[in-house]
Structures are given as C-alpha cells and as structure tokens.
Amino acid sequence: MQVYLVGGAVRDQLLGHPYQEKDYVVVGATPEQLLAQGYQPVGKDFPVFLHPSSKEEYALARTERKSGKGYHGFEFHTDVDVSLEQDLIRRDLTINAIAMDEQGKIYDPYHGQEDINNKILRHVSPAFAEDPLRVLRVARFAARYATYGFRVADETIALMKQLANSGELSCLTPERIWKETSRALMEPHAEVYFETLRQCQALKVLFPEIDVLFGIPQRPEYHPEIDCGVHTLMALQQACQANYALDVRFAVLVHDLGKALTPKDQLPRHIMHEERGLVPVTELCQRLKVPTNIRLLAQVVCKEHLKCHQLLQLKPGTIWRLLQRLDVMRRPERVKAFAQACQCDAKGRLGLEDRDYPQADYLLGAMQAVRDVKVQDIPKELQGSEIGEYLISKRIEAIAEFKKASALTE
C-alpha cells in the first residue's frame, strides 16, 4: 500500500500559495485493508475514507468511465492494480494531477510543474470534456490564480466551448452552480471567473442576464468605460479589492441587470433601469437558489443604488424613507453592505477607481443618528399611532441635525 498527497495541496505547495485541506490517494489497497486500520468510510460513489486521527480524506486510486450525462454520469473502478498514473489522468488540470509521496518525492506524469512555471491552466486529457462541472472549476481557478498571471490554455478553452455548446451544462444542478460561483466570487479576482465563462461561451448559458450586458452602451460622462458588461466586472473588481463579503460581491454583480432591458431608442441613457432590474435579479436568484439574505441585499442594491449616489442632495425625510426600505432598525448590517456595494458601483468606472465616495460614510452616519433615537424617550402621554408618528419625526429630525453638522465639518 502506497499513500500520496495529491491535488490542491501539492499544487499550492509548489506555487507558494496558502492551503489548508489535504487529500490523499491510496494505491495498492482494498477497502477492507483501510477499514482494518480504523479508517472511516464516507464515499457513496467510490471508496473515500477518513483517517482515524487526522480525519483527512483518503481515496482509493480509481479510474472512471463516462456512462451518462452531467457530472454524476460516471462509473468508477477501484482495484489494487489501479496505478497512480491512471488515477491522476482522470483529473481536470495538469496542475492538479501532481502527487507527492511520504518522503516528499514529486510524481508529475502530465507535466503539471511545467504548466505551473509557465502559468498555464491546461486540461490533462480529452476526457476533460466529459464533465460539465469542469467549465466552472477552471473558471474559478482562473479567478484564484490570476494574481500569479495564470491564463487558460487555448486548447482548454476550446474544450470548454465544446461543453458549453453541447447542452451538458444544463445537467448542472442550481446548487452546484451556486456553490462554484459563490466560491469564485470570494476569489481575489472574481471578475476573471465571469470573463473566462464569457470567453468559452458558457456565460450566456449559465448567466444570460449578465452576458447580455456586454455591448450595451452607457453615457460616457458617467461611465468612461461605456460598456455595461465591462462596468459590471470593474465594479466587482472593486468589491474584491476591498475584500467585501459574499453578499456585497453578488449584489455588485447584479446591480445593473436592468440596463439590458432599456429600450434601444433610449440608449445610451438608462431611465428606470433600477426598477427594470428587479425582475432579472429575482429570476436569477430563484434559478440558482441563492440564499435569502444574499437575494434581499441584491434586490435592494439594484432598486436603490441611485438614491445612494444622490444622498448628499436628498432631504432628511427622503433619507429616512431610504433607511426604512433598508430595514435600518432590524438590519443595520444591511445598510453597511448596501453602502459598500454602491461605493463599488461608483468606483468601478474607467479612470474613477480612486474617486472619493463620501456617500458611504454619510449613510452610515445618518443610520447612527436614527438609531440613537430611543424608544424610552417617547412622552408617556402619547398613545397608539401617535407613538409611531413621534418616532418618525424624531428620526427625520436627527437626520437633519446630522446633515447640518456634516455640512459644518466639510
């Protein structure tokens, strides 16, 4: 029995990239042998075991054969005679098909180290095109390793196009698409994920609402980059650079979907795009089964982001109604996330990436002024609806005082 460290841990160790998870492949062993040593079985489709003490995953070396559609459509074969090379060739990319034995010796039958040195994401074998999930995985790796200068090999893009145009992507479950996408959104260059999907023609299949934004013009005095799709990815890049949370990044991604629905005779203006965008944002979230809290932020950013840009000119009553729609009293964290997303929209524009966005701090200051109005201060003689009216008037008054104080300090 021989044990090898494989996959991401070896790849990232060679690259000098931080990693946490370790996966192992076991060659020349049977399930019974591992069970006898105290390993715990967890695999349903093929034998995967947890180490008795470390709880790390150990999988028996296996081969696979396409037997149906989708990424579940495979038959697996494990046996003591399955070699390390046979196990590695079924993996997606050469950089993921490297193994290391217990003495630290590297086994690299498919030249993954060479591709690491040349910063190339390349498929291991033509069998790559049998698994539609690999389109998303490669795009996610492109987003992760863009910092190091990696690009997807042309021949791998060609196979990804083949998968995108074959109908196989329809076999991916909404949960799996969202899992890969949410992970990609948290990478340092999430925009590269969507650029890669567009390059291989998968974006129009999986995210048609985003794909149609490319080529739609905007007014250059507000958007020097002009193209709506380019702006969307520039704004997403701002969210990544600021290391904002997943809900903010997703909201930024979908904030301008309504611009694809602007009547052509109105272009390059986009009147009421924030209202039009609610339908595609909601449909996208429902299709991918996006978690509720992420969907709610995406919807409110889509609908209200122009109000945030105009914040410094708004009256106190208008600001209060905006804060109400953001659920300021119960969800102050949503107000902060909303401000972050709007800031990314404002800065995700060609040549304006370093612009100041005082509206974000202004909104948070107004929120704090509102939240400082205490229920305990309500006069005891007030009853029923009078209480609510009093609180609203006091909150608007607090915003007015904050606005006045802010003007004095500017």
355 annotated binding-site participant: no
137 annotated binding-site participant: yes
Distance CA 171, CA 358 (A): 46
Q: Per this entry, what is the length of the chain?
A: 410
Q: Per residue in 290-311, is it b (16+ CB within 10 Å) or e — as a string?
A: beeebbbbbbbbbbbbebbbeb
Residue whose structure tokens are 């109105």 = 266
122 annotated binding-site participant: no
Nearest to 62 by CA among 42, 41, 45, 38: 45
8 annotated binding-site participant: yes
Q: Count CB neighbours of 249 within 10 A.
A: 27
276 annotated binding-site participant: no
Residue whose structure tokens are 């122009």 = 306
What is the 8-class DSSP label of residue 212?
Answer: T
What are the start-end ranges of the E strands in 258-334?
none
21 annotated binding-site participant: yes
331 annotated binding-site participant: no
Nearest to 255 by CA among 294, 229, 281: 281
Distance CA 358, CA 348 (A): 15
| Residues paired with residue 62 on neighbouring β-strands, in sequence order | 78
| Residues paired with residue 27 on neighbouring β-strands, in sequence order | 2
Q: Count CB neighbours of 228 within 10 A.
A: 25
Spatial neighbors of 41 by CB under 8 A, at least 6 apart, are 31, 35, 47, 48, 49
CA distances from 319 to 220, 226, 341, 395 (A): 28, 30, 17, 10
* Residues in binding site for CTP: 8, 11, 91, 137, 140
Binding-site positions read: 8, 11, 21, 23, 91, 137, 140
Residues making up the binding site for Mg(2+): 21, 23
